[in-house]
Structure 1
Amino acid sequence: MANLRSTVIVKTDICGYTARVKKLSQSDLSSLLNEHKTFISDISTRNEGSLIKGEGDSFWLIFPSVTAAAMAALEMQQELRTQQSSKSNDERLAIRVSITLGDVLHQDKDIFGDTVNLTARIESVTPQDEIYLSQAAWLALNKAEVQTSFVNEFSLKGMSEPEKVYKVDQSYKTRIVENQAIIKADLRGFIAYQESNSIRDVEYLLTNFDTFEKNICEEYGGTIRSIVGDSHLLTFPEAHSALAAMESLCENWKLFIHG
Structure 2
Amino acid sequence: MEEIAVVAAHSERATLRVGDMFLKVDADQARIDREVQAMTLAPVPTPEILWREPPVLALSAVPGTVLGRVGQPSTASPEAWAAAGAALRELHNAPAPPWPGRAGRPLDELTADLDRECERLIADDVLPADLVTRNRDLAEAALRPWNPAFTHGDLHIAHVFTAGTALTGIIDWSEAGQGDPLYDLASLTVAHQPHLNALLTGYATPVDLNVIHAWWSLRTRLLVRWLTTHGHNPSTPGGAIDVLRAQL
TM-based fold match above 0.5: no
Work out which of the two has the higher radius of gyration on C-alpha atoms and give 1 or 2.
1
- The structure with more strand, counted as a fraction of residues: 1
Report the TM-score range of the alignment, normalised by the length of the smaller protein.
under 0.3
- TM-score w.r.t. the length of structure 1 is 0.26
- TM-score w.r.t. the length of structure 2 is 0.27
